Structure 1
Amino acid sequence: MAESEVKLTIGEDKVTTVDVTKGAAVDLKARDPEHLHDHVRVQFHDIFGEPDETVFSFDFVWTWAFKLFTNTKLWCYRITSLICGLPLAIYWGIHFALLSFCAIWCCEPYLKAYAIELHCVRRVFQTMLNAFYRPCFEAMGYIFYNIRVQVTKQ
């Protein structure tokens, strides 16, 4: 174990700060297993199409347009992700860590405390509804209980 590693116990698992992925590997083939970005999956034939045999370009133009479109899209994405991908991964890691922190340590305890504090108010309103409104609505229910509607065709 390296000197900078720290041993942690999470549940029953003993992990080090170096192994936060718990041995999970990155699948380099299926990079969108949850299908998050199917709406941006764009191919050449999704954008370009010549309508019929009377309106078409030269074969070499169509072939080169396909190659240029495909390679330009690929290399622009690769260069942009090379420049921006790692800083954005750090940013989003921090962002979701802070969201998790707020949800776990701020929001849930606050909502639980609020629910406990309002429990008395809830019981007062529930008692008032049961004492005043419920008998009125039950009486109205009994009034309309025996009404029968019969539809006949002539």
Structure 2
Amino acid sequence: MATESSEVKLTIGNENVKANDVTGGMEIDIHERDPNNLHDDLKIQFQEIIGEPHTDVFSIDCVWTNSFKVFTNTKIWCYRITSLICALPVSFCWGVYFACFAFHNIWLLMPCLKAYGMNLRLLRSCFNSIIETFVKPCYLAAGYIFYNIRITKGSGD
């Protein structure tokens, strides 16, 4: 049975795991990079940042058009160069962070919350017994004392 040489395989116990199994076969859209609109606030254009306020106060046309080009290209290329240098290390760090976050939730937080809930159920049972035994009779007695009291409004004499 021939396999592709570019495919990375990992064996954990008796289970063979392929590198593409990690993504669950999910493909990314190279053209739509923010499908959930996480960064609508970062979709900033030149006209949203720089605007000349009055028809009498404006720069020379070539300054205005070249400023637009410089702004746009600087924004694009600074982002591309910064992401070229930093995206992989930062992605690695976020991957580690979310892996630790998932580990913490799965292996530490949820078992503690479950154990805490079990202990609280026992405590609630004891608390309910105390309330039913000592407090409820007092309130029932007070209720019977004030049960027949009627307040009527006088005719205003």
Q: Normalised by the size of structure 1, how large is the TM-score? A: 0.77
Instruction: Label 1:67 to 1:4 Cα distance change in 2 as closer, same or farther (>3 A).
Output: closer
Partner of 1:118: 120
Counterpart CA distance in 1 for 2:114 and 2:24 is 32
Listed as ranges, the matches of 1:54-69 within 5 Å are: 54-69=56-71
Q: 1:113 & 1:83 partners in 2: Cα distance?
A: 45
Shift of the alpha carbon at 1:17? 3.1
Residues 41-89 of structure 1 show CA distances to partners (whole Å, capped at 9, x for unaligned) of 2110110111121111111111000000000000000000000000011
Counterpart of 1:81? 83
- State the TM-score, normalized to the length of structure 2: 0.76
Q: Based on CA coordinates, which of the two structures has the bigger radius of gyration?
A: 2
- Aligned-pair CA distance for 1:128: 2.5
Equivalent position to 2:97, from 95, 98, 101: 95
Give the Cα–Cα distance (whole angstroms) in 2 for the partners of residues 105 and 58 of structure 1: 64
CA contact (8 A) 2:9 2:16 kept: no
Match of 1:151 in 2: none
2:155 maps to none
Query: In the TM superposition, what is the alpha-carbon distance from 1:115 to its structure 2 partner?
Result: 1.4
SS in 2 for 1:52: coil
Instruction: Say which SS state the counterpart of residue 19 (structure 2) adopts.
Output: coil
Q: Distance in 2 between matches of 1:44 and 1:65?
A: 9
Secondary structure at the aligned position of 1:25 is classed as: coil
Distance in 2, matches of 1:147 and 1:29, equals 77
Q: Percent identity?
A: 44
Q: Which residue of 2 aligns with 1:51?
A: 53
Q: How many matched pairs?
A: 144
**Is the alpha carbon distance of 1:72 and 1:120 closer, same or farther for their aligned partners in structure 2, counting shifts above 3 Å?**
same
Structure 1 window deviating more from structure 2 (49-58 vs 60-69): it is: 49-58
Residue 16 (structure 1) aligns with: 17
Query: Aligned partners of 2:137 and 2:77: how far apart in 1?
Result: 73
Distance 1:75 1:137, change over 3 A: farther
Name structure 1 gaps, 5 residues minimum. 9-13, 149-154
- Superposed CA deviations along residues 83-140 of structure 1, whole A, max 9, x for unmatched, are 0000011111111011101110111011111211222111111222344445566766
